Amino acid sequence: MANGTAQNAVTLRRDTWWAAPLITAVVLGSFGIYSTWRALSNADFLVEPYLSPFYSPYILASWWPFSPALLILWAPLGFRATCYYYRKAYYRSFFLAPPACAVRPLAKEGSYAGESKLPFILQNIHRYFFYAAGVVLFFLWVDAFKALKFEDGLGVGVGTLVLFANAALLSLYSLSCHSFRHLIGGNLDVFSKCPTRFMLWGKASALNEHHMLWAWVSLFGVALADLYVFLLARGVITDVRLI
C-alpha cells in the first residue's frame, strides 16, 4: 500500500480498542464452555415442574445413547452461530478479522475470502436455523406454561417466572432477527401494496435496532434459567413458591 510506514503498523489507534473484543471473547467463550458441559452432563435438568431450557423439549429416545440435549441444541446454537450479530462478535473477537476498526486483521494480507467461500458461505442458511429455533422456542413456551402446574395444583414459583422470562427474551431475540425482518416484509420494494406486511416490517425493524441487546440478554437469560434448575436439582437453593 502506498502510504507511510507508520500506517502499516497494527494500528495507529490509541484508545482501548482491544477491550471490546477481549470481553466478548471471554463472555462468549464462558458461555460455550458452560453450555457444552451442561448439555453433555445429561443430569440435573428436571426439577418438577421446571425443565432446563437446554433440555426442552425433553426427548426420550431409546435409540439415542447420548444426552437428549444434543438432539435439540443444534437448532438454537446454529441460529446463534449464523446470527448476523454474533457473526460480527466472533469474527472480531475470535478470528480477529479484524479485531477492531482500522486495526490490522490476523489473516495474511489478501488471503481473505469472507463469506464468499466455504465454510462461511454457509452463513447464508441462517433463515433455516431461524425456523428450527422457532420450533424449539415454541416448546420453551409450552414448558413455561407447564411450570405453572405443581403437584397441589396451579401456582407460580420463582422458577416459573424464570422460565417465562427466558421464553420472552428468546422471543425478542428471534423476532429481532435480520432474516425474519427480511422475510416478513423487507423483501418487498413496494410497501404501499402490502400494508399489513409493511406494518409488521416496521415492528420487526424496531426490534431489530436492538438485536445486539436481545442477543446478549437472551444468552444470559437461557444460561441463568438452566443454572437455576441445576442449583435446584443439586439442592443448593430451594424454589420459593409465590402463589
Footprint on this chain of another protein (rule: CB under 8 A): 1-7, 11-15, 84, 87-88, 91-92, 97-98, 101-102, 104-105, 107, 109-117, 120-121, 124-128, 178-179, 181-183, 186-187, 189-192, 198, 208-209
- Comparing CB distances to another protein, the nearer of 155 and 186 is 186
The reply to whether omega before 98 is within 30° of 0 (cis) is: yes
* Residue tagged 444470559 (cell numbers): 220
- Comparing CB distances to another protein, the nearer of 39 and 184 is 184
Residue 193 CB, shortest distance to another protein, in Å, is 9
- Comparing CB distances to another protein, the nearer of 29 and 202 is 202
Burial of residue 148, with CB atoms counted within 10 A of its CB: 0-12 exposed, 13-18 middle, 19 or more buried: middle
Burial of residue 45, with CB atoms counted within 10 A of its CB: 0-12 exposed, 13-18 middle, 19 or more buried: buried
Residue 4 CB, shortest distance to another protein, in Å, is 5
Residue 106 CB, shortest distance to another protein, in Å, is 10
* Residue tagged 435446584 (cell numbers): 232
Residue 205 CB, shortest distance to another protein, in Å, is 9
In angstroms, the first-to-last Cα distance of the chain is 68
Angle at 131 between CA 125 and CA 132, to 5 degrees: 95
* Residue tagged 442458511 (cell numbers): 125
Residue 215 CB, shortest distance to another protein, in Å, is 13
Residue 123 CB, shortest distance to another protein, in Å, is 9
- Comparing CB distances to another protein, the nearer of 58 and 191 is 191
Question: Beta-carbon neighbour count of residue 71 at 10 Å?
Answer: 16
- Comparing CB distances to another protein, the nearer of 30 and 124 is 124
- Comparing CB distances to another protein, the nearer of 15 and 151 is 15
Which residues, other chains included, contact 46 with Cβ-Cβ below 8 Å and sequence gap of 6+?
Answer: 52, 55, 58, 229, 233
